[in-house]
Structure 1
């Protein structure tokens, strides 16, 4: 399982790791979009963050029960205590990213709903608020700043094997 803030590389690394392990890749944000029939940004605007979090909780619960490949969780999925309990004892990898790299990867003009007003400041705040949860849940932490995905995948594979 991959956790981390927006721009940490969860989707990119998830796909790469799935290919290396010969398993399927699943992203809970994509699951939420499939159930809702619209992009995450539209769910936030039209239905609100509370509704998105409900859909997200269910998507994570379902994915953990059904999926045996590489799983990427949305950046805020770990905020839910029930989700935290489900992740206990799982091979959770925290992809740690600095603000500068996250901003570059996310792009400040993107459709990320929680980053609409003052995106750089908001992203910094989200990262600071969630860091302790990410660190507590992770069995492995990988710093992704200025590193190619292949190198990161090598570190994750090695770290999970030990």
Structure 2
């Protein structure tokens, strides 16, 4: 079994896709998003799956996509915002380098707007987002090895914070600080 180098979790607007792609590039590994896997497998957008077949069907697809990705993707993996709702998924994340990208509502709105096609946020998106986070925040923090606040940080700064939190600087091709100092002496 090949495990991901980093697993990113968090709510809509946290920056999982943007940060994930940058982090993968920095680490020299592939990037994968389970939401994209679901869209590819189902052949339709997630919003349509929710509307036509319901959230339980989508969660079944998500559970399978997450399990498959965790089992065979050695790069950076971004999970859909609700993937952690499944107890089995949370168990699979145990011991992995999971990073919760924590974002506040105001920042999420700035990044993606809450009028985007996000089925769980369709009616009164700000209120729905707050309620969603009340339910999910404890689950995100339960499985996370590191929690990175994304507010007022650029995606590049978030990547730096992840590298520091997971001690991945050498994997990213960064010289260790001690060796760097010796060269300057």
TM-score bin (small chain): over 0.9
Q: Secondary structure of 2:68's match?
A: helix
Question: Are residue 81 (structure 1) and residue 87 (structure 2) matched?
Answer: yes
Give 4+ residue runs of structure 1 displaced > 4 Å after superposition: none
Deviation at 1:75, TM superposition (A): 0.3
Q: Which has the higher helix share?
A: 1
Partner of 1:71: 77
TM-score by length of 1: 0.98
Larger Rg: 2
Instruction: Provide structure 2 residue ranges, at least 5 long, that are not aligned to the other structure.
Output: 1-6, 169-185
Superposition RMSD in Å: 0.9
Q: Secondary structure of 1:75's match?
A: coil
Q: Aligned partners of 1:159, 1:128: CA distance in 2, in Å?
A: 25
Cα deviation, 1:59-100, whole Å, max 9, x if unaligned, reads: 000000110000000000000000000000000000000111
Question: Are residue 45 (structure 1) and residue 51 (structure 2) matched?
Answer: yes
Number of equivalences = 162
Partner of 1:24: 30
Q: Aligned partners of 2:11, 2:152: CA distance in 1, in Å?
A: 16
Partner of 2:159: 153
Q: Aligned partners of 2:108, 2:133: CA distance in 1, in Å?
A: 10
